[in-house]
Amino acid sequence: MAKNRFFGMIVVFFAQVHFSFLGMGMSMSTSSEATKKVPVAYYDEIKDLPKHREKLLVDVREPSELQSTGRIPMSINVPLGDVQKAFSDDTTEEQFARLYNHTKPHLKDQIIVSCQSGRRSQIAAETLTNLGYKQIKNYKGSWLEWAEKNGLPK
C-alpha cells in the first residue's frame, strides 16, 4: 500500500513538472495549461505581415530545413534549440542582431512563432511566454500550410 501511494505521488509530481532540456536551451511543458495560454495565428495574419512590421515572425526550424524548403517572407530564423538563450536576458540586443540579423524584441512586442507543422513552434511559444513575453502567437499551420497555399515545396 505504501509503495502504491509513493508511486502515485511520483506520477503526480512528474505530471506537474516542466521538463528542461539543459544544454539544448529548450524547455517543454507537459501541462495542457501552458498550451491553452498561447493564442493561435492564422494564414491570413501571416499573409498580412508585410503591412504589420510591428509583428515579428520567428521560424524555429533548423537552417537546413529552410534551405531545402524555403521560408515565409518577413521571418527570421532562430532554431528551437536556441530560443531559450536567444530571447533571455543573457543575450544582449547587439548579440541578437549579429546572430539573427534583426533587432531583439522587447517583452511587449508581438511575436508569432512558426516551424514545419506547428509542434516545435508551440514549444517555442511556451518558452517565450515563460520568459515573460506578453504577445506570443503560434502559427499552427506553419510551413506546411504556407507552402500548400502558395504552391511551394513542403
**Active site amino acids:** 115
β-strand pairing of 18-21 with 26-29: antiparallel
Rounded CA-CA distance 42/137 in Å is 9
Partners of residue 40 on adjacent β-strands: 138
Partners of residue 41 on adjacent β-strands: 139
Amino acid at 128: L
Residue 104's SS3 state is: coil
Q: Which of 127, 30, 31 is nearest to 84 (CA)?
A: 127
